[in-house]
Amino acid sequence: MATGPPRPPGGRAHTDDSRAQTTLDFAIGVSLFLSVMLFVFAFVPGILQPFELSGEQDTVLSERIASDLSQGTLGDPSEPYVLETHCTVAFFDEGSPSPSRCDYEGSTIQERLTVEDHRNVNVSLRGTLSGADADLLCWDATSQRIVERGSGDCNPDAGDDDRLLTGGETPPQSNDATVSSRRVVGIQQTNVTMRVVVW
Amino acid sequence: MSDRRGGVDERGQGHTLEAVAAAFLLVASVSFALQMTAVTPLSASTSSQHLENQLRYTGAGVMASVEERGGLSRAIRYWDESDARFHDAPDGGYYTADPPDNAFGRALNRTLDERNIAYNVHLVYERSSGDRAQKRLLYRGEPSDHAVRASRTVTIMDRDPLIDADGTENGTLTVSNASTYFLPDADTGGPVHNVVRVEVVAWRI
Amino acid sequence: MTERGTSTALSYVLTLSIATLLVSGLLFAGSTFVEDSREQVIRQELQVIGEHLASNVEQVDRYAGAPETVHEASLEQTFPSRVTGTTYDAILRENGGDPTLTLRATDPAVTVEIGLGSDVPITGETFADGGTIATSCEVSGGTCDRIVIENV
Amino acid sequence: MADLRPRDERGQILLIAAFTLAVIFVALALVINSAIFTENLASQGEVAGSSEALTYQDQVRQSVAEAMAYANRYDESSLGASVDTIGGQSSSQQARGGRVIDVSLVSTTDGTRIADNASGGSAFRSSGGLSDWNLADGVERTRNVVVTTRHSDLPTSGTPFRLRANETGTPTNVWTMSVWEDSDDVVVRVNTADGDVSECRVAVAGAGTFQIDVTDGVIAGERCHALTRDGTAGTPMWFATGIPSGSTYDIEIANGDAIGGNYSMVVSPRGSWNATTLTTGSATGTPYRTDAIYEATVDYAFRTSQVTYETEIEVTPGEAP
């Protein structure tokens, strides 16, 4: 075996350039580590994203509001899901003070539902009273009866205090972060659907 | 051949090995984290449970508002004595496609069919022997596993009249003297004919 | 001595410092990130639990309002006793006619407040820790004078 | 310069970095877990059965009302047995659902049922044939006032049929309901004791009989706001509004000849019926009175593993608030 250059024990002849770890090894090592690091940093936010919690309590809030309105505030707790006409119509009359006899206070929907003022809520009554498809309902003051918006006798802006039975801001169509709860309730001898949207 | 002074060269591969070990540790920790969290395909969408809660309230709301005017009790007594079945129900004796033409049927149609929710209606009552029996009022097929049940009990008294097709009370026939009426007298001694539980099983199609 | 002389020491110090800097930076960034998301999750969880508790209080209020005479009305629900690792408690207080429900987490001090209707009969202040919380009526003479929350 | 430690002692920084990252990810996993639990908690509905306590109480109230109607019409002593049967069957039905229901009759308040249900209907005259006459004096409470009539039996606007409740001792304090027909519409006008007037007009199709439920404010299935809410301030009103709650009132019919059909009501206390104008047996054609149960008090209990609800409900079917 040809002997290479003599290897003195502990001799200084080990210059650093003979480290046997070529720059290539180092390059592989670090690049591998960096690539894994990049992968992890790219991947982790991905798994976190669906759990970026925002507005989780809206689901429970809309259920609470819907149950409270349909089983107590707009009617009588001893007769759940049946609304009393006068208080229901007055509930949607924003701006004027609540009638003392009814089970809510304040003049805006937020105050009447005891939620913070910045909270976006919309409450509306829909139903199919005549014809085939459901429509927003309206209080016709002349006949003291609840009618569909499409029927002739509902003219909310005609001065006689007809009124559309919807309160709060209009829910955004595109925004998907809204939560809505529905209850079927009875009013004036018929069934309508109360819809509460929170976003 | 190790070198007493920890020569620099043998550790060469050590660095890459170290990087590999680090990388492995990193990937292992991420996968462990994933295993630990109950990440399921559905875990981000909680809407299905929310919708089921709505269905339960819908069923209860329909029956509560119909029964306020006695509509549920009349729907149970909406019986055709001569045909021995509910008024103009198909041969099976229970409604299938369109609901009965009374307040309860119209309410179901208005609120449930409108939002393409399929539903079955069963009447659960007690026989005089005390065991429980069930009769279909309306049947639309096997409910899916997300089906939700809402129920309401209605008391029928011995002399309650049957209801004719147009909704008016029958002058002579009552639940007791009608021969083909399905509801037995569970309390033969007393005035109560039967306590019927109306069950609406609804599911989204 | 290698030809590069002091450069080895310099490169040595350099790599060491950069590396420690990198690691400490990483550690710091990582822990603040974890802390922030933990606090956000705690706040959300307290709000969800608060809303559930508020709907229980309103349900008991309806129980009290329905019949002419009430003998007993209570409703209990089991909530997680710890929220992302910290314990929390709930306080139902009269707050001068505008009753509120306040939930406080201990470790990162997070507080959540939920308003209730002013017609809900709540007087003084009642308190319950996380876990199974019972909402009930203190009944006297057939009417529900006060709705309280307590641990079961 | 001394030979420093060779470069290879760099201290495995990469490993430490990886280790710290690993710790961070595990902590993050904990946070994600509770985030997922929060969403799960958010989508939970209300406590199981908590809203059913009230809906079931409503069902018990209506079942007992059915039993009372039966008792008042056929056999007054049967109410106790009916309530026990209702309670027994309800609890066996609900036990399947994990709910414990307990219904028991506590007490009843006596009353009198005044009715004229001659078959085919007749004029609202007293047993002595008077058109204007008094039905009852010193009445404290009235419920389930129902008039059954037909278009052909209704007076025109000339002299409408009037049902009055005037305060005992001060007849000027009177609540009056006038009913007449105006071109196929049934018109009901109410003058309350405190001077408010409101009117409702309901178009009733067909020539068959229909019901005017005075205490419920429903005419042939249509709500008549005049009977349940006065026009101006919108405050609710009902049979005998305006008569101070402390004092009693007398019930009178005016112009009974003008209307045909049947009527019935239940008044309390039991002795307030007028002996001269009402017979005791239900002879056809003449108004009669029978003993009746005005109100039943029922103990109701609803228990599940998480809900406890015990109350005492007063069942007075058809009594305005």
- Tens of pLDDT, residue by residue over B76-86, are 999 998 888 89
| Rounded Cα distance, D25 and A37, in Å | 13
Tell if the pTM clears 0.90, that is, is over it.
no
Q: Which two tokens stand for residue A111?
A: 């105050």
pLDDT tens digits for range D2-59: 444 444 555 677 788 788 888 888 888 888 888 888 888 888 888 888 889 999 999 9
pLDDT score of A11 = 46
pLDDT in tens, chain C (152 residues): 455 556 777 887 887 788 788 788 888 888 888 888 888 899 999 999 999 999 999 999 999 988 789 999 999 999 998 888 899 999 999 988 889 999 999 888 899 999 998 888 999 999 999 899 999 999 998 899 999 999 98
List all residues of chain C from 53 to 92 with a beta carbon under 8 Å from chain A: 54-55, 58-59, 61-63, 65-67
Cβ-based contacts of A197 with chain B (< 8 Å): none
Is the domain of D303 the same as that of D199? no
CB atoms B44 and A50 under 8 Å: yes
Cβ–Cβ under 8 Å, residues D68 and D293: yes
| Rounded Cα distance, A112 and A91, in Å | 8
Q: How far is B49 from chain D (nearest CA, A)?
A: 6
CB atoms C40 and A105 under 8 Å: no
Instruction: For residue A113, tell me if it sits in a domain.
Output: yes
Q: What's chain B's average pLDDT?
A: 84
Is the CB of residue C73 less than 8 Å away from at least one CB of chain D?
A: yes
Is the domain of D128 the same as that of D270? yes
Q: Which two tokens stand for residue A55?
A: 């507005």
Percent of chain D scoring above 90 in pLDDT: 24
Is the CB of residue B9 less than 8 Å away from at least one CB of chain A?
A: yes
CB atoms within 10 A of CB D290: 16
Is the domain of D163 the same as that of D262? yes
Q: How many domains does chain D have?
A: 2
Q: Which amino acid is at A167?
A: G
Tell me which DSSP letter residue A36 carries. H
pLDDT score of D232 = 52
Is the domain of D156 the same as that of D215? yes
Q: Which of D42, D46, D223 sits opposite A188 (nearest CB)?
A: D223
CB atoms B20 and A182 under 8 Å: no
pLDDT tens digits for range D85-137: 999 988 888 888 889 999 999 999 999 989 888 888 888 888 888 889 998 99
Q: How far is C93 from chain D (nearest CA, A)?
A: 22
* pLDDT value at B54 more than 50: yes
| Rounded Cα distance, C140 and C64, in Å | 12
Cβ-based contacts of D44 with chain C (< 8 Å): 52
Is the CB of residue A14 less than 8 Å away from at least one CB of chain D?
A: no
* pLDDT value at D202 more than 60: yes
pLDDT score of C93 = 93
Q: How far is D171 from chain C (nearest CA, A)?
A: 32
SS (H, E, C) chain B: CCCCCCCCCCCHHHHHHHHHHHHHHHHHHHHHHHHHCCCCCCCCCCHHHHHHHHHHHHHHHHHHHHHCCCHHHHHHCCEECCCCEECCCCCCCCECCCCCCCHHHHHHHHHCHHHCEEEEEEEEEECCCCCEEEEEEECCCCCCCCCEEEEEEEEEECCCEEECCCCCEEEEEECCCCCCCCCCCCCCCCCEEEEEEEEEEEEEC
Q: How far is D61 from chain A (nearest CA, A)?
A: 9
pLDDT tens digits for range A127-139: 888 877 788 899 8
Is the domain of D249 the same as that of D310? no
Is the domain of D148 the same as that of D252? yes
For chain C, the structural domain boundaries read 4-151
List all residues of chain C from 81 to 110 with a beta carbon under 8 Å from chain D: 83-85
* pLDDT value at B33 more than 90: no
Beta bridge partners of residue D262, listed in sequence order = D148
Instruction: For residue B122, tell me if it sits in a domain.
Output: yes
List all residues of chain A from 72 to 91 with a beta carbon under 8 Å from chain D: 77-81, 85-86, 90
pLDDT tens digits for range A16-56: 455 566 778 778 878 888 888 788 778 777 766 666 677 77
Chain C interface, best mutation among D5, D62, D306, D312, by max C CB count within 10 A: D306
> Which domain covers residue A88, as residue numbers?
56-169+178-198
CB atoms A77 and D222 under 8 Å: no
Is the domain of D159 the same as that of D227? yes
Give the pLDDT mean for D171-195.
Answer: 86
Query: Which chains have 3 or more CB–CB distances shorter than 8 Å to chain C?
Result: A, D
What residue of A is the nearest CA neighbor of B62? Answer: A184
Q: Which helix (H) or strand (E) holds A66?
A: helix A57-68
pLDDT tens digits for range D52-84: 999 999 999 999 999 998 998 888 889 999 999
Q: How many domains does chain A have?
A: 1
Residue A10, classified by CB atoms within 10 Å of its CB into exposed (0-12), middle (13-18) or buried (19+), is exposed
Instruction: For residue A33, tell me if it sits in a domain.
Output: no
CB atoms D14 and A33 under 8 Å: yes
Is the domain of D210 the same as that of D233? yes
Is the domain of D158 the same as that of D121? yes
Return phi, psi of residue D304, to 5°. Answer: -130, -175
- B3 band by pLDDT with thresholds 50, 70 and 90: very low
* pLDDT value at D230 more than 70: no
Is the CB of residue B46 less than 8 Å away from at least one CB of chain A?
A: yes
> Which domain covers residue D310, as residue numbers?
52-108+297-315
Give the pLDDT mean for B148-170.
Answer: 90
CA dihedral angle for residue C141, residue A79, residue A161, residue A152, rounded to 10 degrees: 180
- D284 band by pLDDT with thresholds 50, 70 and 90: low
CB atoms A57 and C47 under 8 Å: yes
The radius of gyration computed from the CA coordinates of chain C, to the nearest angstrom, equals 26
CB atoms D45 and B126 under 8 Å: no
List all residues of chain A from 53 to 72 with a beta carbon under 8 Å from chain B: 59, 63, 66-67, 70
Instruction: For residue B85, tell me if it sits in a domain.
Output: yes
pLDDT tens digits for range D139-169: 998 999 999 998 888 888 678 899 999 888 8
Percent of chain B scoring above 90 in pLDDT: 31
CB atoms B64 and A186 under 8 Å: yes
Is the CB of residue A145 less than 8 Å away from at least one CB of chain B?
A: no
Sequence-distant (≥ 6) Cβ neighbours of residue A171 within 8 angstroms: A120, A122, A178, A180, A197, A199
Q: Which of B46, B52, B159 sits opposite D42 (nearest CB)?
A: B46
pLDDT score of C49 = 94
pLDDT score of B2 = 41
Cβ–Cβ under 8 Å, residues B65 and A82: yes
Cβ–Cβ under 8 Å, residues D116 and D122: yes
pLDDT tens digits for range C81-100: 888 889 999 999 998 888 99
* pLDDT value at A12 more than 50: no
Sign of torsion over alpha carbons A109, A113, A119, A125 = negative
* pLDDT value at B96 more than 50: yes
Give the pLDDT mean for A182-191.
Answer: 89
Instruction: For residue B115, tell me if it sits in a domain.
Output: yes
Q: Which of A64, A72, A103 sits opposite C54 (nearest CB)?
A: A64
Q: What's chain D's average pLDDT?
A: 85
How far, CA to CA in Å, does C31 sit from each of A88, B26, B31, C35, D32?
52, 16, 19, 6, 15
Q: How far is A124 from chain C (nearest CA, A)?
A: 20
Is the domain of D91 the same as that of D142? no
CB atoms D234 and A86 under 8 Å: yes
Chain D interface, best mutation among B123, B157, B183, B201, by max D CB count within 10 A: B157
How far, CA to CA in Å, does D243 sit from each of D164, D194, D265?
12, 8, 19
Cβ-based contacts of A176 with chain B (< 8 Å): none
| Rounded Cα distance, A67 and A69, in Å | 6
Chain B interface, best mutation among D16, D46, D54, D66, by max B CB count within 10 A: D66
Q: What is the CATH number of the domain that holds D273?
A: 2.60.120
| Rounded Cα distance, A184 and C59, in Å | 18
Cβ-based contacts of D10 with chain C (< 8 Å): 12, 15-16, 19
pLDDT score of A1 = 41
Query: Which chains have 3 or more CB–CB distances shorter than 8 Å to chain A?
Result: B, C, D
Question: Could you tell me if residue C131 is left (phi over 0), alpha (psi between -120 and 50 degrees) or otherwise beta?
Answer: left
Reported in sequence order, the residue ranges of C37-78 that DSSP labels E, i.e. its strands, are: 69-78
pLDDT score of A20 = 61
The more confident residue out of D230 and B136 is B136
pLDDT score of A96 = 84
CB atoms D59 and B154 under 8 Å: yes
Q: How far is D33 from chain B (nearest CA, A)?
A: 5
Is the CB of residue B91 less than 8 Å away from at least one CB of chain A?
A: no
In this predicted structure, which of B54-58, C66-70, D285-289 has the lowest mean pLDDT? D285-289
List all residues of chain D from 191 to 210 with a beta carbon under 8 Å from chain B: 208
Sequence-distant (≥ 6) Cβ neighbours of residue B31 within 8 angstroms: none
Q: How far is B96 from chain D (nearest CA, A)?
A: 26
- B7 band by pLDDT with thresholds 50, 70 and 90: very low
Cβ-based contacts of C33 with chain D (< 8 Å): 24, 28
* pLDDT value at A124 more than 90: yes
pLDDT score of B77 = 93
* pLDDT value at A179 more than 50: yes
Instruction: For residue A51, tell me if it sits in a domain.
Output: no
Question: Could you tell me if residue D121 is left (phi over 0), alpha (psi between -120 and 50 degrees) or otherwise beta?
Answer: left
Cβ-based contacts of D74 with chain B (< 8 Å): 159, 191
Is the domain of D183 the same as that of D147? yes
Instruction: For residue B42, tell me if it sits in a domain.
Output: no
CA dihedral angle for residue B49, residue B122, residue B104, residue B96, rounded to 10 degrees: 90
- B5 band by pLDDT with thresholds 50, 70 and 90: very low
